Structures are given as structure tokens and as C-alpha cells.
Amino acid sequence: MKKYIIAFLILIMSVFTLSGCKEENRERLLNISSDDTALLSLFSDDGSSESNFFLQNYGHAFISVTNTSTSAFMVGDRNVEPNETITVGLWNVFQHSGIWYNLESNYIKEHNKYNKRVSITIGIDNNDINTISSLIKEKDRWTPLYNCSKFALDAWNLVAEQSEKINAKFIMSPSYLVNEICKFQEHEKVKELVTDENIRFYKEV
């Protein structure tokens, strides 16, 4: 019964959270430095483009990491070469209910998914990369209260400057993140996201 109550709360939160970019209050700024090792992007799509009268899609949130350095590094247990981008997202799927790499980028490529996605990007260093890797190790498990939005925002907030952080709510939804992302002047709509076709989950043998 507890499981159904939580699922109902998440449903209500998703339905009543207004989505879409608003034109006002875009005063927040992001920081990117030439000394950064990588770029971290926070993506969210509210699912409205895939919803209809018979089927409601509540969207998805995830992160991407782009290696801007001259050396490879690890994100979780995934090697990232120079100039390479990977996506990292938390999924509740049969094969692995947890962290997946490059699932979102290949969904976009093969099925034109998340075509109303918005994103923001900051520069991060090696310490930040290690912090994100620790989060991946710690949170490799989807639950109704720790969903894709919660993971993506945790990854962002752990390494962002104070002015770049986004307030977390008890129940998180992609729609909420869309609204918050759009408050940043530098937010992007439908940012290009190209990765390789190597889709796998965390600790996959």
C-alpha cells in the first residue's frame, strides 16, 4: 500500500507542476573556465511532446559529461576519452534498475526522444568528476522517491557553485527541473547530444 501511495504522490506532483520555459526571471548565470577538465550539463524534458489524451508521459532528467581535457578519466566505471561525451541517467528498467550510460543520447538519435529538452552547462574539474563518480556508486538504484530527476539534480548540486544550485524538493519531477533550468540566462533548448553507441549500465560485466 505504501508503494501505491508514493506513486500517487509522484503522479499528482507531475500533473500539477507547470512546465515549459517562462520568459521572465532569467537572471542566473553559469561559470565555465578554460581551466576546467570537463563540461557537465543538466538536461530535463517534461514529456509533453510525447503525451496525448490516452497516454501521459512525465518526462526524464539526466546529465551529460564532456571531456575537454587531453587525458581520459573515469565517470563511475565508464572511461571517457578526450572530446568524448557520455550521458548518465537513472532508470527503472527490468535489466537494471539503476544507472545507465548513453541510453538517452541513443534514444534521441534512434527515436527522436526528448525533443523539448532544456539544459544548462557548467565547467567542472577532476575533484568534481570524482564526486559525481561517488554519487553514481552510492545511488545506483532507482526508487519512487529517488528517481531520474533526483539523481540528475544531486549530481548538479554537488559540484555547482552556490549561485548555480537548484533547490531540491521532497518529490522531484522533470517538469520542475524544466522550470528551474529555464531561470538561467544561458539555458539551451534541444542541445545537440552526440555519444557513441555503447549503451550499458553501471557495473555491467
Q: Mean of the pLDDT values across residues 44-55?
A: 65
74-112, pLDDT tens digit by residue? 999 999 999 999 999 999 999 999 999 999 999 999 988
Looking from the CA of 37 toward its CB, the CA atoms found within 13 Å total: 15
Query: By the 8 A CB rule, do 155 and 58 touch?
Result: no
Is a pLDDT exceeding 80 seen at residue 58? no
Is a pLDDT exceeding 80 seen at residue 7? no
Please give the Cα distance from 52 to 99 (Å, whole number): 28
What three-state secondary structure class fits 60? Answer: strand
Q: Mean of the pLDDT values across residues 167-176?
A: 93
Please give the Cα distance from 158 to 154 (Å, whole number): 6
Is a pLDDT exceeding 80 seen at residue 25? no
Q: Distance from first CA to last CA of the chain, Å, rounded? A: 35
> What mean pLDDT, rounded, does the chain reach?
86
> In which region does residue 83 sit, left (phi positive, over 0), alpha (psi from -120 to 50) or beta (all else)?
left
Q: What percent of the chain has pLDDT over 90?
A: 71
Closest CA to 76 of 137, 147, 7: 137
Please give the Cα distance from 104 to 125 (Å, whole number): 24
Question: Of 2-6, 65-69, 191-195, 199-203, where does mean pLDDT reach its minimum?
Answer: 2-6
Q: How confident is the model at residue 50 (pLDDT cuts 50, 70, 90)?
A: low
Q: What percent of the chain has pLDDT over 70?
A: 81
Residue 52's pLDDT is 44
